[in-house]
Amino acid sequence: MIYYNKKTNTIPREYASEAIERDGCRFRCAIETNKKIKRILEEHSKSSGLDIICFLLADACDDNGKWVFYDGKRKHIMQNWVNKMGGLSLAIIIASCNPKDQEIESKKSIVIHFRNKIKPYKILSDSYRIRAYIPNRGYLEGRL
């Protein structure tokens, strides 16, 4: 997991682990309590044989039409990162802002991400829409 503040170009060490733990727990709880997502993960696990879940918590933004995140040293295009991780895990969960509501695809792994900008303390509320991309099916329509 990565926590990086683009504006200050730093990873606040004492805050980073606390923020990752807090925000990661909130997001994981939102996913684990969502019956529709749990069912989809179980079905895909049976058909794919995959069972590991990859989790990315990052400060992300739009950069010239690309959804990107920073690791403290360089910029990563989200789709490229998903392409590298796809097939290694059952699901790739991206807990970061997606200000332009960009879509992500993966050939083998489910990708779960937010639709727009997020505030970690509101992750569990209905004000944020979570999107799920299923390989060979596309995005699930409707609210998750």
- What ranges do the domains of the chain cover? 13-139
Chain centroid to Cα 19, Å, comes to 16
d(CA 62, CA 69): 9
> What are the structure tokens assigned to 128, written together?
């944020």
pLDDT band at 111 (very low <50, low <70, confident <90, very high): very high
- What number of residues does the chain have? 144
Residues whose CB falls within 8 Å of the CB of residue 120, separated by 6 or more in sequence, listed in order? 19, 22, 23, 26, 27
Asked if residue 120 has pLDDT above 60, the reply is: no
The whole-model pTM stands at: 0.77
pLDDT in tens, 42-64: 999 999 999 888 888 777 889 99
Looking at per-residue pLDDT, the higher value among 51 and 144 belongs to: 51
d(CA 130, CA 6): 24
Alpha carbon dihedral 11, 14, 15, 16, in 10-degree steps, equals 50
Which pLDDT score is estimated for 12?
47
Rounded to an integer, the average pLDDT of 103-113 is 93
